[in-house]
């Protein structure tokens, strides 16, 4: 049990290190469009034809709802997203991509896919194992 937690902590530490090390390459990705890492992530999360309420975005980002206001303000100023009224509950604002936002999102994904990143150096088996493990981690937390 103690061993399990120690191993989990080790994995967590490695994840943190990997993340911070990768961070240096993230701005280069967003700089092209003048977007911060978080803004890129939001654009990635916001799939076309699948708008999401601001409260859901706050939950997905694990941050306070007040942050989402400013975050969306900045994305809206850039013309990438827009707030829309939600059907049925007039308190709710639903976030959708503008045509420009949809185009930039596509360019962003192509930009990421188009250049090799550290994950491409894993073997196919390793990549599949990593994806499967991450999917399990994300699934288990949904409940």
Partner DNA sequence: TATTGTTATACTCTATAACTATA
Partner DNA sequence: TATAGTTATAGAGTATAACAATA
CA atoms of 106 and 139, how far apart (whole Å): 26
Considering only residues 14, 28, 89, 106, which one is a binding residue for its own copies as defined by CB under 8 A? 14
103 binds, among its own copies, DNA, none (CB under 5 to 8 A by kind): none
For 94, residues 6+ apart whose C-beta sits below 8 A from its C-beta are 51, 52, 53, 54, 83, 84, 85, 86
Residues 66-85: b if buried by 16+ CB within 10 A, e if exposed? eebeebbeebeebebbbeee
Considering only 65-73, 75-83, 85-93, 131-139, which stretch makes contact with its own copies by CB under 8 A? Answer: 131-139
87 binds, among its own copies, DNA, none (CB under 5 to 8 A by kind): none
Q: In the window 55-94, what residues touch DNA (CB under 7 A)?
A: 55, 58, 61-74, 83, 86, 89-94
**Using alpha carbons only, how large is the chain's radius of gyration in Å?**
18
The answer to whether 56 and 89 are in contact (CB under 8 A) is no
Q: Is 83 helix (H, G, I), strand (E, B) or coil?
A: strand
Please, which residue, 89 or 135, has the CB nearer to its own copies?
A: 135
Please, which residue, 90 or 121, has the CB nearer to DNA?
A: 90
For position 111 contacting DNA by CB under 7 A, the verdict is: no
CA atoms of 47 and 102, how far apart (whole Å): 8
The contact set with its own copies (CB under 8 A) reads 2, 4-25, 41, 44-45, 60-63, 109, 112-122, 124, 126-131, 133-138, 140-141
The contact set with DNA (CB under 7 A) reads 23-24, 27, 36-39, 53-55, 58, 61-74, 83, 86, 89-94
């Amino acid at each position: 049990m103690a061993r399990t937690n120690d191993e989990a902590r080790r994995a967590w530490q490695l994840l943190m290190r990997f993340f911070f090390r990768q961070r240096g390459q993230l701005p280069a990705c967003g700089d092209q469009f003048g977007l911060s890492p978080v803004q890129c992530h939001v654009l990635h999360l916001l799939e076309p034809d699948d708008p999401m309420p601001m409260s859901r975005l706050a939950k997905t980002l694990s941050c306070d709802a007040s942050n989402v206001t400013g975050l969306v303000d900045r994305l809206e100023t850039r013309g990438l997203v827009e707030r829309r009224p939600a059907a049925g509950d007039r308190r709710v604002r639903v976030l959708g991509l503008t045509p420009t936002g949809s185009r930039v999102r596509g360019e962003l994904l192509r930009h990421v896919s188009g250049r090799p990143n550290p994950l491409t150096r894993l073997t196919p088996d390793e990549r599949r194992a990593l994806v499967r493990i991450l999917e399990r981690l994300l699934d288990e937390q949904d409940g």
